[in-house]
Amino acid sequence: MKKKLRKIDQLLEMPKEVYSNEPKITLIGFHEMIIENFKGIIEYEEYLIRINTYIGIININGYELKLENMTNDDLRVTGKLESFDLEPNSEEE
């Protein structure tokens, strides 16, 4: 059944993030990041934000970081973004 749905999604040219739980990360310069398909916030500091997703954890490092425009579907991080890294879930490796 799941395989059949993927074929339909591909025929309709739907983006993978629409029919899967994989996060989509969009960077806008060094000052804004949008994350779609997240589960929750693990840690929130001015210099570090850790976001839980269905496939692992996204660590965002920088200065004056803020969470803005958070909805059930996506969130926006603003500030001086320096780096980010991904920690995959052990079953996803």
What mean pLDDT is predicted for residues 3-29? 70
Domain extent listing, the chain: 20-92
Predicted local distance difference test score (pLDDT) of residue 7:
60
Pseudo-torsion of CA 67, 70, 75, 81, nearest 10°?
-10
What pTM, to 2 d.p., does this model score?
A: 0.77
CATH topology of domain 20-92: Immunoglobulin-like (2.60.40)
Give the pLDDT confidence score for residue 55 in this predicted structure: 92
In this predicted structure, the answer to whether residue 3 has a pLDDT above a threshold of 90 is no
Helices (H), 2-91: 2-11, 16-19
As a whole number, mean pLDDT of residues 50-75 equals 94
Residue from 19, 58, 22, 27 nearest 37 by CA? 22
Q: Pick the residue with more confidence: 4 or 43?
A: 43
